[in-house]
Structure 1
Amino acid sequence: MSAPHLPKVAGIDPEVPVSAQTAAPLREIPAAPGAFIQDRLAGWVSDLTTLHELTERLAATATLDAALNELLHAGAALVGARRGLLVLERAGTTTPSTTLGLGLGPADLGHLETVERSATALGRVLDGPPDAADARDGIATPDLLGDQDLDPRHREVATRLGYAASYALPLASEGAGRLGGAVWFYDEPGEPSEKQRHLVGLYARYATEHLARLTELERARADIATVAEELLPSRLPRIPGVRLAARHRTGPQGGGDWYDALPLPDHALGLAVGSVGGSGPSAMAAMGRLRASLRAYAVMEGEDPVAVLSDLELLLRLTEPARTATALFAYCEPAARKVVLAGAGHTPPLVLGDRRCEYVETTLSAPLGMLACWEAPSVEFSPAPGETVLLYTDGLLRRTGDAMDRAFARLHSAAASVPKADRRDPAAVTDHVLRAMLPDGLDRSDSTEDVVVLAAHFD
Structure 2
Amino acid sequence: MSAPHLPKVAGIDPEVPVSTQTAAPLREIPAAPGAFIQDRLAGWVSDLTTLHELTERLAATATLDAALNELLHAGAALVGARRGLLVLERAGSTTPSTTLGLGLGPADLGHLETVERSATALGRILDGPPEAADARDGIATPDLLGDQDLDPRHREVATRLGYAASYALPLASEAAGRLGGAVWFYNEPGEPSEKQRHLVGLYARYATEHLARLTELERARADIATVADELLPSRLPRIPGVRLAARHRTGPQGGGDWYDALPLPDHALGLAVGSVGGSGPSAMAAMGRLRASLRAYAVMEGEDPVAVLSDLELLLRLTEPARTATALFAYCEPAARKVVLAGAGHTPPLILGDRRCEYVETTLSAPLGMLACWEAPSVEFSPAPGETVLLYTDGLLRRTGDAMDRAFARLHSAAASVPKAGRHDPAAVTDHVLRAMLPDGLDRSDSTEDVVVLAAHFD
358-367 or 25-34, larger mean C-alpha shift: 25-34
| Residue 22 to residue 392, structure 1, CA distance change in 2 (3 Å) | same
| Residue 8 to residue 39, structure 1, CA distance change in 2 (3 Å) | farther
Alpha-carbon offset, residue 107 of structure 1: 1.0
SS at match of 1:43: helix
Q: For the residues of structure 1 that align with 2:330 and 2:173, how far apart are their CA atoms?
A: 56
| Residue 193 to residue 340, structure 1, CA distance change in 2 (3 Å) | same
Deviations 1:341-399 (A, max 9, x none): 00000000000001100001111111000100001111111111111000000000000
Alpha-carbon offset, residue 24 of structure 1: 7.8
Determine whether 1:407 maps to 2:404: no
Which residue is 2:244 aligned to?
244
Determine whether 1:25 maps to 2:25: yes
Q: For the residues of structure 2 that align with 1:58 and 1:335, how far apart are their CA atoms?
A: 58
Q: For the residues of structure 2 that align with 1:40 and 1:80, how far apart are their CA atoms?
A: 21
Deviations 1:428-454 (A, max 9, x none): 000000000000000000000000000
Which residue is 1:366 aligned to?
366
Alpha-carbon offset, residue 9 of structure 1: 20
Q: For the residues of structure 2 that align with 1:147 and 1:439, how far apart are their CA atoms?
A: 51
SS at match of 1:248: strand
| Residue 6 to residue 211, structure 1, CA distance change in 2 (3 Å) | farther
| Residue 378 to residue 7, structure 1, CA distance change in 2 (3 Å) | farther
Deviations 1:120-173 (A, max 9, x none): 000111111111111221000000000001111111111111100000000000
| Residue 285 to residue 8, structure 1, CA distance change in 2 (3 Å) | farther
Deviations 1:28-81 (A, max 9, x none): 112121111111111111111111111111111111111111111110010001
SS at match of 1:332: strand
Deviations 1:79-131 (A, max 9, x none): 00111001010001111111111111111111111111111000111111111
Alpha-carbon offset, residue 20 of structure 1: 16
Q: For the residues of structure 2 that align with 1:5 and 1:447, how far apart are their CA atoms?
A: 103
Cα-Cα RMSD: 4.1
Q: For the residues of structure 1 that align with 2:2 and 2:201, how far apart are their CA atoms?
A: 76
| Residue 11 to residue 402, structure 1, CA distance change in 2 (3 Å) | farther
| Residue 187 to residue 220, structure 1, CA distance change in 2 (3 Å) | same
Alpha-carbon offset, residue 185 of structure 1: 0.4
Q: For the residues of structure 2 that align with 1:89 and 1:9, how far apart are their CA atoms?
A: 84
Q: For the residues of structure 2 that align with 1:205 and 1:220, how far apart are their CA atoms?
A: 23
SS at match of 2:385: coil
| Residue 17 to residue 323, structure 1, CA distance change in 2 (3 Å) | farther
| Residue 51 to residue 4, structure 1, CA distance change in 2 (3 Å) | farther
Determine whether 1:178 maps to 2:178: yes
Q: For the residues of structure 1 that align with 2:6 and 2:254, how far apart are their CA atoms?
A: 97
Which residue is 1:395 aligned to?
395
| Residue 264 to residue 7, structure 1, CA distance change in 2 (3 Å) | farther
Q: For the residues of structure 2 that align with 1:273 and 1:13, how far apart are their CA atoms?
A: 111
Alpha-carbon offset, residue 6 of structure 1: 25
| Residue 21 to residue 340, structure 1, CA distance change in 2 (3 Å) | same
| Residue 405 to residue 15, structure 1, CA distance change in 2 (3 Å) | farther
Q: For the residues of structure 1 that align with 2:234 and 2:8, how far apart are their CA atoms?
A: 107
Q: For the residues of structure 1 that align with 2:5 and 2:36, how far apart are their CA atoms?
A: 48
Q: For the residues of structure 1 that align with 2:79 and 2:117, how far apart are their CA atoms?
A: 23
Which residue is 2:188 aligned to?
188
Q: For the residues of structure 2 that align with 1:395 and 1:7, how far apart are their CA atoms?
A: 109
1:316-327 matches, cutoff 5 A: 316-327=316-327
SS at match of 1:42: helix
Alpha-carbon offset, residue 12 of structure 1: 18
Q: For the residues of structure 1 that align with 2:68 and 2:395, how far apart are their CA atoms?
A: 30
1:418-433 matches, cutoff 5 A: 418-433=418-433
**Structure 2 unpaired stretches of 5+:** none
| Residue 275 to residue 16, structure 1, CA distance change in 2 (3 Å) | farther
| Residue 339 to residue 37, structure 1, CA distance change in 2 (3 Å) | same
Q: For the residues of structure 2 that align with 1:11 and 1:256, how far apart are their CA atoms?
A: 99
Which residue is 2:436 aligned to?
436
1:22-421 matches, cutoff 5 A: 26-421=26-421
SS at match of 1:443: coil
Aligned length: 459
Deviations 1:256-285 (A, max 9, x none): 000000001111110000000000111000
Q: For the residues of structure 2 that align with 1:255 and 1:9, how far apart are their CA atoms?
A: 101
Q: For the residues of structure 1 that align with 2:351 and 2:165, how far apart are their CA atoms?
A: 64
| Residue 191 to residue 291, structure 1, CA distance change in 2 (3 Å) | same
Deviations 1:227-265 (A, max 9, x none): 000000011011111110000000011000000000011
Deviations 1:191-234 (A, max 9, x none): 00000000000000000000000110111111111100000001
| Residue 188 to residue 2, structure 1, CA distance change in 2 (3 Å) | closer
TM-score (normalizing by structure 1): 0.95
Q: For the residues of structure 1 that align with 2:385 and 2:163, how far apart are their CA atoms?
A: 65
Alpha-carbon offset, residue 27 of structure 1: 2.2
| Residue 356 to residue 153, structure 1, CA distance change in 2 (3 Å) | same
Q: For the residues of structure 2 that align with 1:218 and 1:4, how far apart are their CA atoms?
A: 101
What percentage of residue pairs aligned between the two structures are identical?
Answer: 98
125-134 or 384-393, larger mean C-alpha shift: 125-134
| Residue 420 to residue 23, structure 1, CA distance change in 2 (3 Å) | same
**Structure 1 unpaired stretches of 5+:** none
| Residue 9 to residue 279, structure 1, CA distance change in 2 (3 Å) | farther
5-14 or 112-121, larger mean C-alpha shift: 5-14
SS at match of 2:322: coil
Alpha-carbon offset, residue 17 of structure 1: 17
| Residue 41 to residue 335, structure 1, CA distance change in 2 (3 Å) | same
Q: For the residues of structure 2 that align with 1:110 and 1:9, how far apart are their CA atoms?
A: 89
22-31 or 3-12, larger mean C-alpha shift: 3-12
| Residue 143 to residue 20, structure 1, CA distance change in 2 (3 Å) | closer
SS at match of 1:190: coil
SS at match of 1:405: helix
